[in-house]
Amino acid sequence: MTETEPPIDSGLVTRLIASQFPQWANLPVKSVENDGWDNRTFHLGDDMSVRLPSGNGYVLQVEKEQYWLPILAPHLPLPIPVPLAMGRPSELFPRPWSVYRWLEGEVASVAQIADLTEFAVSLAQFLVALRKVDATDGPLPGQHNFFRGAPLAVYDDETRRALVALEGMIDTKVAADVWDIALASRWDRPPVWFQGDVSVGNLLVADGRLSAVIDFGTSGIGDPACDLVIAWTLFDGESRKAFRDAIGLDDATWARGRGWAIWKAMIVAAGHSGTNSPTTDGSFRVIDAVIADHKLRG
């Protein structure tokens, strides 16, 4: 958001709805408790949500979700966002934005998950189903999804800088080994669908179980290794093993998954990830988990 733009708050959303979708103008608008970095989300009435990109870098994701989510949804075992309308740029807000059907559930956390191993299997089954969707004409990696699904070399310079910055704080020798091994292979099969940001903030829980997967802004077709990061950010021990067994990907893809996980954790820990990123809390834990897993796998 630039200095000349209004804050993205419930007042702005109320004005946007009134100006472009007057049929919903009488519905209350409320902020959601757990908001995202890339987009701001609001509850519209009882059954809808409004999602506004927080910066120009996320604009390409709006039309992509509007087009592809209805195509993906019938093939998936869990609900995903259902686009209801797309707002246009205006004098009130300079970027396109979306209205979705509201999905019930709370943002995932270990405390809310009844059985983490069962949750891991459910998530893996969802991602397997997503991989099986016809990828014809799907969005290849690019600026729209920050090159998720592309070869990891796109982030090599950034990762090397983080390794230098973290010298003395982590085992940079082993971390570099993790990265080098990840770079050494590529997805040599036809591109497949991936979600691109499988994180607790994009997984909803109801009655202790995985109930929906949201935010497909970084989705696309290509290498699905980026969808494995959750193995080290949420799972461990038995749940990580269950996730690995159920998702059905080879050792080389898992090595690239460790690369995606350690890249993001290191740039956050090093303070190189920009303003629209999580804090360093947990990043060192993820780095340690990836390194430990790498040593275990040999």
* Tokens linked to 222: 């290509």
pLDDT digits (tens, 9 = 90+) for 229-265: 999 999 999 999 999 999 999 999 999 999 999 999 9
Confidence (pLDDT) at 38: 82
pLDDT digits (tens, 9 = 90+) for 143-200: 999 999 999 999 999 999 999 999 999 999 999 999 999 999 999 999 999 999 999 9
Q: Are 179 and 210 in contact (CB under 8 A)?
A: no
Instruction: Catalogue all structural domains in the chain, each as residue range(s) with its CATH number.
Output: 10-101 (3.30.200.20), 106-297 (3.90.1200.10)
- The C-alpha atoms of residue 242 and residue 118 are separated, in whole angstroms, by 8
**Residues constituting the chain:** 298
Backbone phi and psi for residue 50, each to the nearest 5 degrees, phi listed first: -120, 135
pLDDT classification of 273: cutoffs 50, 70, 90: confident
Confidence (pLDDT) at 51: 97
- The C-alpha atoms of residue 134 and residue 197 are separated, in whole angstroms, by 20
Confidence (pLDDT) at 275: 44
Q: How far is CA 242 from the centre of its chain?
A: 21
Looking at residue 146, what DSSP letter applies? T
What CA–CA distances, in Å, run from 108 to 41, 181, 195, 210, 244? 17, 31, 16, 8, 19
Residue ranges with strand state E in the chain: 29-31, 39-44, 48-53, 83-87, 97-101, 106-107, 192-194, 203-206, 209-213, 220-222
Backbone phi and psi for residue 76, each to the nearest 5 degrees, phi listed first: -110, 145
Q: Are 48 and 24 in contact (CB under 8 A)?
A: yes
* Tokens linked to 61: 């994701």
Confidence (pLDDT) at 12: 97
Q: How many CB atoms lie within 10 A of CB 251?
A: 10
- The C-alpha atoms of residue 210 and residue 202 are separated, in whole angstroms, by 11
pLDDT digits (tens, 9 = 90+) for 14-49: 999 999 999 999 999 999 977 666 899 999 999 999
